[in-house]
Amino acid sequence: MRQSQLFTKTRREAPADEVSQNAQLLVRAGYVHKEMAGVYSYLPLGLRTLNNIVQVIREEMNAIGGQELVMSSLQDKELWSRTDRWDDAKVDNWFKTEFKSGGETGLGITHEEPLTRIMTDHISSYRDLPVYAYQFQNKFRNELRAKSGIMRGKEFMMKDLYSFSRDDAQHKEFYDMAREAYLKVFTRIGIGDRTYVTFASGGIFSEFSEEFQTVSEAGEDIIYIDEEKRIAINKEVYTDETIAKLGLEKEKLIEKKAIEAGNTFSLGTRFSEPLGLLYTSEDGTKKPVVMGSYGIGPTRLMGIVVETLADEKGLVWPESVAPFTYHLVSLGHDGDEVSKTAEQLYAALTEKGIEVLYDDRDVRAGEKFAESDLLGMPYRIVVGKDAVANGAFEVVTRATGEVAKKTREEILAA
Amino acid sequence: MRQSQLFTKTRREAPADEVSQNAQLLVRAGYVHKEMAGVYSYLPLGLRTLNNIVQVIREEMNAIGGQELVMSSLQDKELWSRTDRWDDAKVDNWFKTEFKSGGETGLGITHEEPLTRIMTDHISSYRDLPVYAYQFQNKFRNELRAKSGIMRGKEFMMKDLYSFSRDDAQHKEFYDMAREAYLKVFTRIGIGDRTYVTFASGGIFSEFSEEFQTVSEAGEDIIYIDEEKRIAINKEVYTDETIAKLGLEKEKLIEKKAIEAGNTFSLGTRFSEPLGLLYTSEDGTKKPVVMGSYGIGPTRLMGIVVETLADEKGLVWPESVAPFTYHLVSLGHDGDEVSKTAEQLYAALTEKGIEVLYDDRDVRAGEKFAESDLLGMPYRIVVGKDAVANGAFEVVTRATGEVAKKTREEILAA
């Protein structure tokens, strides 16, 4: 895409009303727009980035048998009353509103209830199990504070997968697969090395839930890491008993701040029983379906990638999530030879289906480079006089600052 | 995809609480689930269909220079107060709710206001214009009645594009391009022949808006069509004056019921003035940006395709929107030769990247055929004894009922 056509502009100064690094950089670079505290819109570069993260997650969810659907945001009060999660005294972050046709409704905070009800139409026999279904959808949570930019919003995108199994053994099998799939997601988007399976409080149906915590100074959680085993304990369950139960040694554990990048819960029959999701087992008896839920927030992941990989010059995107792999920066003016060489390379890259943002604007080189650093594409290709004279293009790796001279053929072969 | 793995089941009977044909069929076929009146979830087959429609629209919007973004659902009361569209006396279909952190918010009914505000950060000079930006997003409208299935929901997906131009001439240029792009969308999804550019009431800044009306008995609108010129007049502006102004002849106009499939509005400076979206023109003066808005509802389009193409046996999808192009129906049992032949064809089709739903279940042939008709894939490939004995596969075109015998090679070459 030609940068002269991209409608978003960058800003030199961070917005005064943003305290988090991720929102400061993303707003400056024109990736997101703040609508209100904790409410963001995703501009073209931001949406491309988000879509790349979504696609990585989708591929990993499909690989373990997930079937994608999308549920409504508007929620049925009656349904949530049956599981006792409607009352504000039980769940305190609903946005509630009223139908003009009569009756209250709320905006989906999560979707165990509606999906369990949907499944009562489709699951009746043990032959129908297991089933795994997931969606990408905006959740709404009426948070009192929202100071973490896109990492904790009042409206944010969630990938939520729910598993439906015959019994604990069948549930456990998928639960373990989901853990591996989650670790693959974090590795693919570039935060695998600093993300740990972390044991946290489990709720009614299991002793622990599993969180995936990414070490970061911007984190709101405290975790204790066993670096060798690559697992951690959340402070909320950090007791001698937990340490012993997990076979860890207190002396080896290192305290770090971390951000929750995902979580998985064993739900047992917490939802299937009150909502009547039963199946006929092989022995002919009716049994409640055993469920699990598995969450990753793509918007939050985008924030985590910014917090953990950005530097003092701006954003740094891994190839897997970058809106464009290459930032082609022309130092030419008004159709001179440099401009022509840049145009030719842009055409060749585009024809090969390579994603490239092409800075074709007539702007000072220094300004272009500073903006290119802020935008954070993995590789910058500089087209200057050397490209015309010797066919040598400067290729700068954003993450390391490494500079290489490459020919047109070498660039196109990559 | 193997049908034995697909979690959704079909039903023989239409749900008692649905009056519209589109919802009756889509619920029976397991494409959608009704959460509440006017609120639907999209199950795997429904989501695949919807995504295909979205992709067609996206391609046509990109082709005319649209840049995709996505805005928030939660809306800023203060912003909408400035254009006088917050008050319930002015706009009567808001869902409103409150932040726990204080203050009211509403769920986006449309997005002129937030996008105009976003553009004040990015448009300052005539060089920044024109700009076209669009999104796919769920809108929320607090409708009193919702009897049209997915064609009129309280929560529904909208593609809304907004144009920002220097003046009326530049606006008009894009407005005409958008009309052509819309017509391409309707043609590509199979309703082009029954969809008409229809003149309707325009509002403050232009005499007419343009609607795209699809002829259907399920329609809520009445239009008067000039079949030769392929344009129509909405009843709301059907006067002798309008007929004369459009150069039509009353005698030639035919009255039909129709469904609004899309619309385009010239907005003038209705939003740019109150929200301060000004640009510096070539002569150095500040001028308000001239805007337009362009809407198509992908969920509504999906409903229109059902209403206009379905028959008494069930859904009928054009290839462009079908969740799968082929429905491969095996009449084999328990690994017999027929089953093996079907498995081989499934593997070959899948390897070629052809989208196929494979009915690998051990179910009676009659039941399979009835279900296949209900699900509505464009082509059904039947694998029976003839396929094993003579290599002949029966291929049935869903829309016409046409039956052909084809070899494996002919099918794979298609």
DSSP string covering A141-173, please?
---S---SGGGS-SEEEEEEEEEEESSHHHHHH
Question: Does the beta-carbon distance from B7 to A146 stay under 8 Å?
Answer: no
Which residues does chain A have within 8 Å of residue B145's beta carbon, measured at their own beta carbons?
A: 101
Tell me which residue range forms the domain holding A376: 326-413
Whether B16 is covered by a domain: the verdict is no
Q: Coil, strand, or helix at residue B136?
A: strand
pLDDT in tens, chain A (414 residues): 999 999 999 999 888 888 999 999 999 999 999 999 999 999 999 999 999 999 999 999 999 999 999 999 999 999 999 999 999 999 999 999 999 999 999 999 999 999 999 999 999 999 999 999 999 999 999 999 888 999 999 999 999 999 999 999 999 999 999 999 999 999 999 999 999 999 999 876 778 999 999 999 999 999 999 999 999 999 999 999 999 999 999 999 999 999 999 999 999 999 999 999 999 999 999 999 999 999 999 999 999 999 999 999 999 999 999 999 999 999 999 889 999 999 999 999 999 999 999 999 999 999 999 999 999 999 999 999 999 999 999 999 999 999 999 999 999 998
pLDDT, residue A414, reads 80
pLDDT, residue A207, reads 85
pLDDT, residue A145, reads 86
Say whether residue B35 is in contact with chain A using an 8 A CB cutoff: yes
Q: How far apart are the first and last CA of chain A?
A: 19
pTM, two decimals, is 0.97
Same domain? For B125 and B179 the reply is yes
Same domain? For A350 and A387 the reply is yes
Say whether residue A239 is in contact with chain B using an 8 A CB cutoff: no
Q: Which residue of A has its CA nearest to B114?
A: A35
Q: Which helix (H) or strand (E) holds B174?
A: helix B168-188
pLDDT, residue A65, reads 98
Q: Coil, strand, or helix at residue B91?
A: coil
Say whether residue B36 is in contact with chain A using an 8 A CB cutoff: yes
Q: How many CB atoms lie within 10 A of CB B312?
A: 5
Same domain? For B357 and B288 the reply is no
C-beta separation of A29 from A95 below 8 A:
no
Same domain? For A354 and A300 the reply is no
| Rounded Cα gap, residues A60 and B371, in angstroms | 31
C-beta separation of A221 from A260 below 8 A:
yes
Minimal C-alpha gap between A394 and chain B (Å) = 30
Question: Does the beta-carbon distance from B74 to A155 stay under 8 Å?
Answer: yes
Number of domains in chain A: 2
Which distant-in-sequence residues (6+ apart) come within 8 Å of B9 by Cβ? A121, A122, B30
Flag whether pLDDT at B358 surpasses 70. yes
pLDDT, residue A204, reads 66
Same domain? For A102 and A149 the reply is yes
C-beta separation of B332 from B339 below 8 A:
yes
Whether B354 is covered by a domain: the verdict is yes
Whether B249 is covered by a domain: the verdict is yes
Once rounded to an integer, what is the mean pLDDT over residues B186-190?
98
Q: Which residue of A has its CA nearest to B88?
A: A100
Flag whether pLDDT at B354 surpasses 90. yes
- The residue among A309, A341, A373 that closes a domain is A309
Whether A94 is covered by a domain: the verdict is yes
B296-343 pLDDT, tens digit per residue, is 999 999 999 999 999 999 999 999 999 999 999 999 998 899 999 999
Same domain? For B181 and B243 the reply is yes
pLDDT, residue B54, reads 98
C-beta separation of A109 from A139 below 8 A:
yes
Which distant-in-sequence residues (6+ apart) come within 8 Å of A207 by Cβ? none
Return the residue matching tokens 């499909």.
A62
Helices within B215-364 (DSSP H only)? 240-245, 298-309, 337-351
Same domain? For A143 and A208 the reply is yes
Say whether residue B140 is in contact with chain A using an 8 A CB cutoff: yes
Question: Does the beta-carbon distance from B101 to A43 stay under 8 Å?
Answer: no
Return the residue matching tokens 């795997």.
B44
Which residues does chain A have within 8 Å of residue B73's beta carbon, measured at their own beta carbons?
A: 73, 138, 140, 155
- The residue among B250, B281, B309 that closes a domain is B309
- DSSP 8-state class, residue B151: G
Whether A320 is covered by a domain: the verdict is no
C-beta separation of B324 from B377 below 8 A:
yes
Helices within A276-331 (DSSP H only)? 298-309
DSSP string covering B263-279, please?
EEEEEETTTTTTTT-EE
pLDDT, residue B204, reads 66
Q: Which of residues 76-95 of A touch B (CB under 8 A)?
A: 76, 92-93, 95
Angle between helices A21-28 and A298-309 (to 10 degrees): 90
pLDDT, residue B6, reads 98
Strand partners, A75: A106
Whether B15 is covered by a domain: the verdict is no
| Rounded Cα gap, residues B181 and B132, in angstroms | 13
Minimal C-alpha gap between A165 and chain B (Å) = 13
Q: Predicted ipTM?
A: 0.97
Same domain? For A244 and A346 the reply is no
Which residue of A100, A124, A140, A363 to mutate against B (max B Cβ within 10 Å)? A100
Q: How far, in Å, are A68, B68, B156, B183, B260 from residue B301 at the CA level?
A: 21, 20, 11, 13, 9
Which distant-in-sequence residues (6+ apart) come within 8 Å of B207 by Cβ? none
Which residues does chain A have within 8 Å of residue B67's beta carbon, measured at their own beta carbons?
A: 5-7, 44
Same domain? For A338 and A263 the reply is no
B394: domain CATH number? 3.40.50.800
Which residues does chain B have within 8 Å of residue A105's beta carbon, measured at their own beta carbons?
A: 36, 95
Q: Which helix (H) or strand (E) holds B205?
A: none
pLDDT, residue A40, reads 98
pLDDT, residue A53, reads 98
- The residue among B264, B283, B309 that closes a domain is B309
Question: Does the beta-carbon distance from A143 to B40 stay under 8 Å?
Answer: no
Return the residue matching tokens 């199994």.
A165
Whether A15 is covered by a domain: the verdict is no
Q: Identify the CA nearest to A136 among candidates A324, A297, A338.
A: A297
Say whether residue A144 is in contact with chain B using an 8 A CB cutoff: yes
| Rounded Cα gap, residues A157 and B214, in angstroms | 34
**Pairing of the two strands B393-397 and B379-383:** antiparallel
Same domain? For A350 and A285 the reply is no
Question: Does the beta-carbon distance from B143 to A93 stay under 8 Å?
Answer: no
Residues in chain B: 414
Residues in chain A: 414
Question: Does the beta-carbon distance from A68 to B47 stay under 8 Å?
Answer: yes
Same domain? For B148 and B175 the reply is yes
Same domain? For A215 and A171 the reply is yes
Whether A16 is covered by a domain: the verdict is no
Question: Does the beta-carbon distance from A42 to B101 stay under 8 Å?
Answer: no
